[in-house]
Amino acid sequence: MKKPFILISNDDGITAPGIRHLFETIKPFAKCVIAAPLLEKSGAGLSTTLSKPLEIQSFFWEDETPAYRINGTPSDCIKLACSVILKKAPDLIISGINKGCNGGRNVLYSGTVGAVIEGVFRNIPGIAFSCFDVKDPDYENSKKYIYPIIDYILKNPFDKGSFLNVNFPPKELPILGVKMTSQGLGYCTENPDKRIHPEGHAYYWMGGKWSFHPEEKDESDIALLQKGYITAVPIKVDQLTCEEHLAKHKKNFEEHLSAFENEVRIS
């Protein structure tokens, strides 16, 4: 049976333990290539580097697996992997394992997720993997679930423009199982740490703290993670239009602006 061709990336950097655990989990089942940031790029989202040159450097990896470190963002890594490094598109892009939860609205900040979305824009399916804990994430117990999730997605392809966002629960909770569910509302908000520079002015480390919100569904990823479940959320990014608002306001909006234009002409 032909092994799938998988591109691996992350936002914690190519030397992070999470990406090593991810690779070790799937190497028996897949042909892999690694393209990951030189340095940690947590919170980079889909940002891309436009103000400095990017360099692709070979990086030693076990089993002679091709690996590259790139002095940019996770999105940069996928862009350059697909347009420069690889001769053909991968069957799947996987990203992680991230230290820190990417449940809820954290997906909008996450570089781990950003790498996968960059692939989705190229019609390459992807899965983002994250652990709830920032300190001492439970990579080891999460490993046994990773390839079964990948295997299911390879055999049951996504709808166009979609990816899967997977999060593992806090380490202190026993894993109760895996749930496919919806994305929740919680996210990591700012927690600025004010400090004084030797020259006398203030500066800040942004910091972060979890912001819980009343969940619309008791079965959202945020709610289930707190119970001890692994969560898997299918997320669609190819259609960003709010169709309800468009249908409700298109006519009135255009008529309002047309009347405004007429007033300007008359005046």
- Kindly report, residue by residue over 31-51, the tens digit of the pLDDT: 999 999 999 999 899 999 999
- Torsion sign across C-alpha atoms 41, 30, 23, 38: negative
Q: Which residues have CB under 8 Å from 184's CB, separation 6+?
A: 103, 104, 105, 213, 215, 217, 220, 221, 222, 223
Least trusted range by pLDDT, from 4-18, 28-42, 53-67, 191-205: 191-205
- 202 part of a folded domain: no
The residue with greater pLDDT, 29 or 188, is: 29
162 and 234 Cβ atoms separated by less than 8 Å: yes
- 198 part of a folded domain: no
Residue 45 to residue 139: CA distance in whole angstroms: 22
- 80 part of a folded domain: yes
- The CATH number linked to 130 is 3.40.1210.10
- 39 part of a folded domain: yes
The residue with greater pLDDT, 216 or 116, is: 116
- Domain, as residue range, for 10: 5-185+213-240
Number of domains in the chain: 1
Element (DSSP H or E) covering residue 190: strand 187-190
- 156 part of a folded domain: yes
Phi, psi of 118 (to 5 degrees): -60, -35
Residue 241 to residue 110: CA distance in whole angstroms: 21
Would you call 27 helix, strand, or coil by DSSP? coil
| Average pLDDT estimate for 17-26 | 95
In the 8-state DSSP scheme, what is residue 239?
-
- 253 part of a folded domain: no
- 175 part of a folded domain: yes
181 and 166 Cβ atoms separated by less than 8 Å: no
The DSSP-derived string for 83-140 is: III-SS--SEEEEEEEES---GGGGGT-HHHHHHHHHHTTT--EEEEEES-SSS--HH
Tokens of 185: 């509302």
**What was the pLDDT predicted at 187?**
64
| Average pLDDT estimate for 259-264 | 74
| Average pLDDT estimate for 82-102 | 96
**What was the pLDDT predicted at 85?**
97
- 246 part of a folded domain: no
